[in-house]
């Protein structure tokens, strides 16, 4: 994939986020999306070597649309300024729909590669199930938290949107209560694309995703 061309397109789209510009540049978008689809397909092939659960995952179903849902948004810009994909066995694009833990990455207009693993904003029933899983499998959760490769690659679980008090039904002195307060169960980081080509992007993502496998597998058992 031509990452320079993708960054240029996304940067120009960021400055001209309107339908007229997009229609004029639709041929560029179609080429870049086709290339991105091939990158995702190759990535899935790499992931299935250490996580067979994603075998057969359709790359087309992994890609997010570039159109934004602006129905309830203050920002009415019609297009996203990222190319992104979410890879998980169910083929769902959004783990928040109940699809379980995912391997996610995006490339933005600034030339950044953002990548994450786990579950972002799971629905209430799934969130409750994860919290129960922590309560009933504290030793297994400990192994995830203490995994050295996961820590080296991503650091700790993200605490964005963490509750200030224990959720209803969970005791304040419960083991791992600070993690039970989380609303997301994921790790993420980012890299600069300036010195990377598509092969290096895939290699970077595969290394990172493999390091997050203990978290992904633990979440699947909950």
Quote the mean pLDDT of the chain.
93
CA 84, 88, 92, 94 dihedral sign is: negative
Q: Nearest Cα to 87, choosing from 212, 182, 1?
A: 212
Confidence label for 73 from pLDDT (cuts 50, 70 and 90): confident
- Residue ranges per domain, the chain? 3-220
> How long, in residues, is the chain?
222
pLDDT tens-digit readout, 115-157: 999 999 999 999 999 999 999 999 999 999 999 999 999 999 9
User: Are the CB atoms for 102 and 96 separated by under 8 Å?
Assistant: no
**Token pair recorded at residue 165:** 């008090």
Q: Is the pLDDT of residue 21 over 70?
A: yes
pTM of the complete model: 0.93
Q: CB under 8 Å, gap of 24 or more: what pairs does 197-202 form?
A: 197/3, 198/1, 198/2, 198/3, 198/39, 201/1, 201/3, 201/39, 201/113, 202/39, 202/42, 202/43, 202/46
In this prediction, residue 71 carries a pLDDT of: 86
In this prediction, residue 93 carries a pLDDT of: 47
Confidence label for 102 from pLDDT (cuts 50, 70 and 90): very high
User: Are the CB atoms for 112 and 192 separated by under 8 Å?
Assistant: yes
In this prediction, residue 138 carries a pLDDT of: 96
Q: Is the pLDDT of residue 94 over 70?
A: no
Confidence label for 70 from pLDDT (cuts 50, 70 and 90): confident
In this prediction, residue 97 carries a pLDDT of: 56
């Amino acid at each position: 994939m031509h990452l320079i061309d993708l960054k240029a397109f996304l940067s120009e789209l960021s400055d001209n986020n309107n339908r007229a510009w997009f229609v004029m540049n639709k041929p560029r978008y179609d080429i870049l999306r086709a290339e991105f689809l091939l990158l995702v397909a190759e990535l899935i092939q790499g992931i299935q070597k250490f996580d067979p659960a994603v075998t057969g995952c359709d790359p087309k179903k992994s890609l997010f649309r570039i159109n934004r849902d602006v129905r309830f948004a203050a920002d009415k810009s019609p297009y996203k300024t990222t190319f992104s994909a979410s890879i998980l066995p169910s083929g769902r694009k959004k783990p928040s729909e109940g699809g379980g833990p995912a391997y996610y990455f995006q490339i933005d207009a600034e030339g950044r590669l953002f990548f994450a693993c786990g579950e972002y904003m799971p629905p209430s029933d799934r969130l409750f199930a994860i919290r129960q899983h922590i309560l009933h499998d504290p030793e297994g959760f400990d192994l995830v938290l203490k995994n050295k490769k996961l820590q080296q690659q991503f650091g700790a679980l993200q605490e964005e949107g963490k509750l200030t008090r224990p959720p209803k039904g969970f005791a304040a002195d419960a083991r791992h209560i600070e993690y039970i307060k989380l609303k997301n169960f994921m790790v993420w980081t980012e890299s600069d694309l300036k010195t990377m080509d598509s092969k290096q992007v895939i290699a970077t993502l595969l290394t990172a995703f493999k390091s997050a496998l203990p978290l992904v597998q633990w979440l699947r058992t909950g």
